[in-house]
Amino acid sequence: MTSYTTLKADLAAAVAHGGVTAIILEVDSPSGQVTGCSEAAAAVKAAAAHMPVVAFVAGDACSAALWNVSPADHIVVTPTSAVGSLGCCCSIVDRRGADEKAGVKTHEIISSQTPNKRPDVATDSGRAAIQKNADDTAAVFIA
């Protein structure tokens, strides 16, 4: 597993190394985190400005992983590779029932200036707000 930080550092080291003439990225990832994704893709693009960059998809290059390798000069896939699935998902664990059984009560006070800071996934309006956030983030991925 490679973090965005490690990927950026490795790309910079390869570009700076006098003996490296091309970069091959081996990719097998169903996705990744939104935070740092665009910066990692920018690092691939920057490396590709100095030398050929080839992404070899050994398994999956989906969602954030595809965004990361899109700036490569070439993307090579196997017949069973999965490529695509651009988008965003938000995972929300609702522990209120378990907390209530355990006698745990959480009281959250949200500032008046930001009443929609914590939409409630258990309500239609809360789910709609979370869906809008996921859709807006997916639009950035697709762009």
Q: What CATH number has the domain bearing residue 79?
A: 3.90.226.10
Model confidence pLDDT, tens digit, residues 50-94: 999 999 999 999 999 999 999 999 999 999 999 988 878 888 888
Residue 91 lies in a domain: no
- The total domain count for the chain is 2
Q: Give the domain range for residue 100.
A: 96-138
> 129 near 137, Cβ under 8 Å?
no
Residues 10 and 73 in one domain: yes
Residues 59 and 125 in one domain: no
What pTM value is reported for the model? 0.74
Residues 47 and 101 in one domain: no
> 83 near 59, Cβ under 8 Å?
no
> 81 near 61, Cβ under 8 Å?
yes
